[in-house]
Every structure is written in C-alpha cells, then in structure tokens.
Amino acid sequence: MSKTLRSNIITVGLVFIAYIGAQILIATGSISSLMKGLLVPLCVYAILAVSLNLTVGILGELSLGHAGFMCIGAFSSAFFSKCMKMFVPDMPGALRFFLALVIGAALAGLFGILIGIPVLRLKGDYLAIVTLAFGEIIKNIINILYLGIDEEGVHFSLKSSLDLNMADSEKIIINGAMGITGTPNDSNFTIGVVLLILTLIIVLNLIHSRDGRAIMSIRDNTIAAESVGIPVTRYKLMAFSISAALAGVAGVLYAHNLSTLTALPKNFGYNMSIMILVFVVLGGMGNIRGSMIAAVILTLLPELLRGVVSDYRMLIYAIILIVMMLFNWAPKCIEWRKKATASVKARLQKKSAAKEVE
Amino acid sequence: MAMLEVKNLDISFGGLRAVDDFNMTIEKGCLYGLIGPNGAGKTTVFNLLTGVYKPNKGIILLDGKDITGKKTIDVNREGIARTFQNIRLFKDLTVLDNVKVGLHNHNTYSTLTGILRLPKYHKVERQMNQKALDILKVFDLDKEADVLAANLPYGKQRKLEIARALATEPKLLLLDEPAAGMNPNETQELMDTIGFVRKHFDMTILLIEHDMKLVSGICEELTVLNFGRVLCQGKTAEVLNNPEVIKAYLGE
C-alpha cells in the first residue's frame, strides 16, 4: 500500500472513529444538549477548513473571503428548500436536501469562478484583501436582498419588503436582514459526517492526481510551471472554484441545521473567514488532516472551557491558541519533537532487538 | 531542415536594445552554445525563444513552424523545454512528482477520473511513474525519487531540472548555465550527462554557459553575443580563437 493511500485512509478513518464515538456518547446520554447542538457545526467547520486548505495550502493563495462562498451556498439552498416546502410539500426531505446541496455547491462554485477571474490575477496580500472585500460584498448584498414568490411570479427588491408589492407578505422568502425563516431542518449529524468524508475524498483524491500536482507546481514556482506547459490560469481557477463549491456545501449543511438563517457578521462576515484561516494555519497549510483536527479542537475548546472557567474562557482559549501555534511551528519545538520521536523509536527498536535475542 | 531558425530578432526595454538583429540557425541533433559577457542578452534570447517576452521584430521557426509571439505554455507544447539560471524546481514536491509535472501534457485523464479514481487513473499513473523513473535513472536520481526536491544537493537539483524539462518530450532543449555553481568534478559529470542525453534522446540542445571548459568540451557550434549583438558565429574552435571574441572577454 502506498504512503499516500495509507495516510488518506487514516484521515477518513479518524472521522469515522469520531463519529462512532459521538454516537456512543449520545446513546449513553453522557453528552449535554449544548454539545449535541455543536455536532453539525463541527462538521460545517471541518468542511470549511478542508476546503480553504485547498486554496491556501495547495494553491498557495491567501483567501479571506471563504465565508462569502459559504453564505452563497447557505442562502441559495435555503431559498430552494423553503420554496419546495411551500409549493411541493410532499417532496421527501432527503431528495429535497440532495437537490439543495447540488444547487448550493454549484452556485458557490459558479461564484468562485466569477470572483476568481479578476481576483486570481493578483498575488499575495493584494489577493487576500480583494477576497476579503468580495466576502463582505456578498454578505452585505444578501443582507438587503428581498425575494418573494407568489401567483404573479418572482418579486425582487434591494430596498425593503414593501417594495416587493406582494399581496401576501407570508410568501416573502428572503426578508432582507431578517433572512430566511422556516427552512426545513433536513440536515443532521450523520449527513454532516457523510458530507465531511465526501469533501475529504474529493480534496485528497484531487491533490494526489495529475491536476493536484499541476496546482501544487503553480504554488511552488509559477514560472517553471508555465515552462513545462501547465495552463496556470485554468488550474488556479479550478482550485479556487472547487474550494468555493465545497464551502457552499458547508453552507448548505449550516443552513439546514437552523430554522432561521441570517447573514450576520458573526456567521458569514470576515470574522468567520479569519476563523477558518486560523484552522488552516494552525493545522498546517497543505495538511488536510491537520486543518480538520484544528477545526474540531478550536470549535470544541471554548465550549468545554465554559464549564470549567467561564469567566476567563476566551483568555485561556487565546493562550492555548498561542501555545499550539508555538508547539506546531516554532523551529526549536520542531527540532525537539523530532528528537523526541527519534529517541522513542530507538528505544522501541532496542526493545524488539532484545526480544529477538531472547 | 534546421531545428531552430531565428531571423532578425529584436527587442528593446525602454531605450535599451537588449537583443538587436539576432540571427541563429541550429541543425537537428546539434549541441549549440550561446556565450558572451555578463549582460550580453543571452538569457533574454532564451526568454524570447520560450515566449516569456514578445519580440518587437523577427521570426522564430521551430522545425519549420512559426512560433513567434506564442505563450510560454504553447511554446512548450510545440517542443521547446528549458532550465533556468537560478534553479526553479517545485521544491515542496518529491523528485518523482517534479518529473511527473513535466509529463502532464502527454499523459492525460480528466479531473473527474482523478477524483473518482476510475481505472484509467491507475493505468495512466502507473505509466507516468514508469516513465518518470526511466528518466530519473538517466540522471542517476531514481534512488532519490521520494525525496523532496528542496532537500536535494545542488548538483542534483540542476540535474532534476533537466530531467523535468526532458519529460515534456521537447524537440529542443534550452539549458541556461547548467554548470553554474558546480565544482570541476560536478561539471565533468554534467558534461557526460548532457552528451548522454543528446545521444539517448536524440536531442537538439542549446546552452548558455560561462564555463569555457564545458563550452569547448561539448559544443559543436557557438554564437557569441556582446551588447545584444552577434559578435561571431561558427564552429567552436574557430570562434574561440577569434580575436574579436577574445577582446570581448578579456578586454584590450
């Protein structure tokens, strides 16, 4: 078995083990309802971290607008699901969710291409700032978007709900800053885990294929990649839009876990984008498994601390963040870790050698 | 027919005529040297040939086909591969993957095939691994196939760059100062490798070099550039004894 295949199996296996563990905890009732409510968001954040790692770690471009793509996925899919619920009430939930998923991912991917075309001409800091701006634009437009459907057709406005001129205000679907209410709760923890595993498979298989190598070659040296005939623009766009589409998937999952979906700075603003970036940087740029684990730890940590030291929990959270960063990336720490693992390995070898002698 | 024919090539940056009325013909299978003092415009010629710069004037014919003004990517597809003066490897990829990136355009499967791991993926990847290892063997790099390119010693990095260029199956190989920073032993080894590559792959090679031992040792024909103009052209021995060339290199 090749090294990469084994590593991929470990990554997917970890998710599976975590899933079983969580299910056992739920079944034995040793998990608080607060924690239970965190299970789907955990999957959402893990998917976001993995998908952003494709842009930041594999393509090597710093994107600060990832929450914007999640926002598109969330609102387009919630819009679809609510319409279906209103007009085709006897549609099975699973089918509705599946279609919503396809729509959310496709639309987020499409916006990834549209935004990627101008943005990917930039480099480094400039690219980061422009993606940040696009992320905010998406959130703010959705915040003033009014959309309704009745017998006369689709009503659309960017001013207020009254401008929709609808006879029946019950049929307003997206109500500006109040967002979408009454989205069917079609998602659950199991679906979240399945989507996370799908995301992992897509990203890992992409990385270890011909296209993934081309994307990484662009990251390492664009000029050299061009000189061996790699179509740079095409692969940059491809990585960016796949990353956006997967963020859209996370958005769909997020939207179908809530009954009220609003575009707040907290969930779709740059705070969120930076939070996802923290997962990726902490877990390791280009390290898919690491970013997933970082997402889980950093989401659970503030909640776990709530029970222990509620007053200082954000302070402790920040300290743990710094310590984790140092432990993972400070050169001295890396050196020390290498030494430690080497000595452990040597000791194990000695033991096994001693056994053989016996 | 000549493998490469360059006629009246001209480019200026601002007021500086970096390359001025440049002509050169390279026969198929020839090992051709491009030499000249620092700043003579040698690398600029390479950049013109590979489409990094567009010439103001002139024609470039590769194997009889006009490739003037094409993009770098298309120039590579037409059959010109190059190495760089300052090594440009994919440093976070393994040695094997570096060569496999070179194989990209000749061994294809769709993105979806790659993601879904269809049988074609496994088949093509196996072929690519085999081809890449074959090329690496020529450069005695097959044992380091799983090492990250950044961790290779300098001499081997230079070789890997040539291996990657060859993987694109070019008709013409451009080497930009392949012996830069090498000690005499490594240079000798490199000369042997270049000679072997030429025979083994039946390759036409154009190289820029400052190391006169290497140039006089393996190049059959030379063009000497000075201040963007061709100073002298012809058989190696004749060119190196030309008083104009000696003057350009050593001064009066």
Interface of B with A in 155-194 (CB under 8 A): 164-165, 167-168
What does the pLDDT look like over B132-155, one tens digit per residue? 999 999 999 999 999 999 999 988
User: Domain check: are A188 and A329 in the same one?
Assistant: no
Cα-based angle A34, A35, A38 (whole degrees, multiple of 5)? 95
User: Domain check: are A148 and A47 in the same one?
Assistant: yes
Residue at A220 is within a domain: yes
**Is there a contact between A228 and B76 if contact means CB atoms under 8 Å apart?**
yes
Which domain-ending residue is among A290, A308, A326?
A308
> pTM for the full model?
0.90
Structure tokens at B135: 């090329």
**pLDDT number for residue B249:** 76
Query: In which order are the strands placed within the sheet that holds A146-150?
Result: A153-157, A146-150, A172-175
User: Domain check: are A69 and A86 in the same one?
Assistant: yes
**pLDDT number for residue B144:** 93
Distance CA A181, CA A158 (A): 18
| pLDDT band at residue A168 under the 50/70/90 scheme | low
Distance CA A242, CA A192 (A): 19
Residue A114 has pLDDT above 60, yes or no: yes
What does the pLDDT look like over A238-288, one tens digit per residue? 999 999 999 999 999 999 999 889 888 888 988 899 999 999 998 888 899
Among chain A residues, the shortest Cα distance to B128 is held by A210
Residue at A6 is within a domain: no
**Residue of A201, A214, A221 lying closest to B104 (CB–CB):** A214
User: Domain check: are A266 and A167 in the same one?
Assistant: yes
**Residue of B101, B108, B125 lying closest to A228 (CB–CB):** B101
User: Domain check: are A297 and A334 in the same one?
Assistant: no
Residue at A134 is within a domain: yes
Looking at beta carbons, which residues of chain B come within 8 Å of A230?
73, 101, 104
**Is there a contact between B115 and A202 if contact means CB atoms under 8 Å apart?**
yes
Which domain-ending residue is among A284, A308, A332?
A308
Q: Determine the structural domain holding residue A323 and report its residue range.
A: 314-358
Residue B28 has pLDDT above 90, yes or no: yes
Residue at A2 is within a domain: no
Looking at beta carbons, which residues of chain A come within 8 Å of B88?
221, 223-224, 227
User: Domain check: are A109 and A172 in the same one?
Assistant: yes
User: Domain check: are A243 and A303 in the same one?
Assistant: yes
Residue A171 has pLDDT above 90, yes or no: no
Average pLDDT over residues A282-304: 90
User: Domain check: are A294 and A333 in the same one?
Assistant: no
Q: Does B89 contact chain A (CB < 8 Å)?
A: yes
Angle, nearest 10°, between helix axes A33-53 and A288-308?
150
Interface of A with B in 219-238 (CB under 8 A): 219-221, 223-232, 238
Residue at A4 is within a domain: no
Structure tokens at A286: 């280009």
Mean pLDDT, rounded, of chain B: 91
What does the pLDDT look like over B31-65, one tens digit per residue? 999 998 888 889 999 999 999 999 999 999 999 99
**Residue of A210, A227, A232 lying closest to B109 (CB–CB):** A210
Host H or E run for residue A242: helix A232-255
CA distance A96 to chain B (A): 25
User: Domain check: are A253 and A325 in the same one?
Assistant: no
**Is there a contact between B89 and A224 if contact means CB atoms under 8 Å apart?**
yes
Q: B108: how many CB neighbours lie within 10 A of its CB? A: 11
Burial A277-306 (b: 16+ CB within 10 A, else e): bbbbbbbbbbbbbbbbbbbbbbbebeeebe
CA distance B237 to chain A (A): 33
DSSP character for A91? S
Average pLDDT over residues A326-339: 85
Total structural domains within chain A: 2
User: Domain check: are A302 and A318 in the same one?
Assistant: no
Report the share of chain B in percent with pLDDT over 90: 68
Q: Does B90 contact chain A (CB < 8 Å)?
A: yes
| pLDDT band at residue A332 under the 50/70/90 scheme | confident
Which domain-ending residue is among A268, A287, A308?
A308
Residue at A24 is within a domain: no
ipTM for the predicted complex comes to 0.91
**pLDDT number for residue B148:** 94
Residue at A142 is within a domain: yes
User: Domain check: are A116 and A132 in the same one?
Assistant: yes
**Residue of A211, A221, A226 lying closest to B90 (CB–CB):** A221
Average pLDDT over residues A161-169: 73
| pLDDT band at residue A346 under the 50/70/90 scheme | confident
**Residue of A213, A229, A286 lying closest to B73 (CB–CB):** A229
User: Domain check: are A238 and A333 in the same one?
Assistant: no
| pLDDT band at residue B222 under the 50/70/90 scheme | very high
Average pLDDT over residues A340-355: 84
Residue A1 has pLDDT above 60, yes or no: no
Looking at beta carbons, which residues of chain B come within 8 Å of A205?
114-117
Residue at A23 is within a domain: no
**pLDDT number for residue B37:** 86
